Amino acid sequence: MSALNTKRCNSCQTLYQSDGETVRLETILIGGGSPKRRLTVMPRSVLLLHVLFCSLSAAWAQDPVKVAPQNYKVLLENDRVRVLEALLKPSDRTPQHSHPARVVYSLSDHSAIFRSPEGRVTHSVSKAGDTVWRDPVIHSEESDGKTDSHAILVEFKESPARAEALTRSDYFVTGESSSRLFVRHVTFGSNQQLPILLVPGGSPPSEVLFDLPVAGYSLADDLARMGLDVFLMNPRGWGKSTPAPNSAEAVGDSKQVTADIGSVVGDILRNTGQARLVLFGHASGGLWAAMYATQHQDNVAALVLLNSMYGVDAPWGLRQSFEDPNHPGTFDARAGPYRLHSGGIARRLEPIDPSFQQGRLA
């Protein structure tokens, strides 16, 4: 296993190593006594399934009038507001749906259970005549009271002037081996400050993960309104970017993804005239962003990592189903992200419908 890079500072030392199949990330924390080591070995083919499911749940959330027409009815709509009548009978359940910022006026006493895409459960009890402000949300709803739940929702739309100030442009950057890398640029007005590049990990493409077209659920939108010059990217094999060199892998290996980040960073700095940018990595994208930052410190003003910790000892019921039978405790690298099963995993995860196996897994 050969070392890729080492970064040292006053309090830590980080070492990246790769053998082509796994990436070894070793952090040595210094200070406060003896040095402490934290070692993570991550297979390249591991996708963050929990991030995928949560993000896709949010992406699939729709207009409540469309997904639950028996429960929601439009009373009035213009370019500023939409007024809905919501009526749920006892035990009624709605699919996941989204609401922008709104005022809720209760016409009856009611009790309801709300579930977010991440699995968070909230129990709400209201009295007739209650009037409350609600922030943007994605959730499903279940009426658990003994009487009908009846309310009026006044949903607020973004003002035309505010919407027009926000602009999005999609383009491609040429990377190594003439690859085409998808980039989205999100700006608000003309007061852009330091550029920030958002790098996805094992999740939906960056435009879904960071720029979900649901009011209040776009990180890119929020950052742009704060004055940052926002860029999203997809490495090779992700979204609209060129497929990875090895078609059996969802994305290229760490060195390839790091090179893709470098191509996009270089393009952003040239076009903005800035010397450095903020690099934001989510999940495994955080490891790739950290790897790039250790190799090109002069280009990075700040590094932000979200949900990028690996090697935690958390319980998972499917651990044995996905581990390498020859190396217990290690993910079975034969299960590539484009293949739902292979080898021993196939025998434990047989599809229910044979036609699905023939049509999707051939």
The residue that leads in pLDDT, 328 or 28, is 328
Q: Residue 167's beta-bridge partner residues?
A: 187
The arithmetic mean of pLDDT across residues 5-24, rounded, is 40
Region of poorest pLDDT, from 106-115, 163-172, 234-243: 163-172
Q: Please check whether residue 175 is in contact with residue 20, taking contact to mean a CB–CB distance below 8 angstroms.
A: no
Residue 211, φ and ψ in degrees, nearest 5 = -135, 50
Q: What is the mean pLDDT of the chain?
A: 76
The closest of 303, 305, 299 to 283, measured between CA atoms, is 305
**DSSP for residue 338:** T
Q: Please check whether residue 171 is in contact with residue 229, taking contact to mean a CB–CB distance below 8 angstroms.
A: no
* The pTM of the whole model exceeds 0.85: no
Give the 3-state secondary structure of residue 114.
strand
So what's the pLDDT on residue 185? 96
Give the 3-state secondary structure of residue 183.
strand
pLDDT in tens, 108-134: 998 999 998 878 899 999 999 999 999
pLDDT in tens, 181-227: 999 999 987 666 789 999 998 778 999 999 988 777 899 999 998 88
User: Is pLDDT at 356 greater than 80 in this prediction?
Assistant: no
Both structure tokens of 106: 């209760």
Residue 194, Cα to own-chain centre: how many angstroms?
22
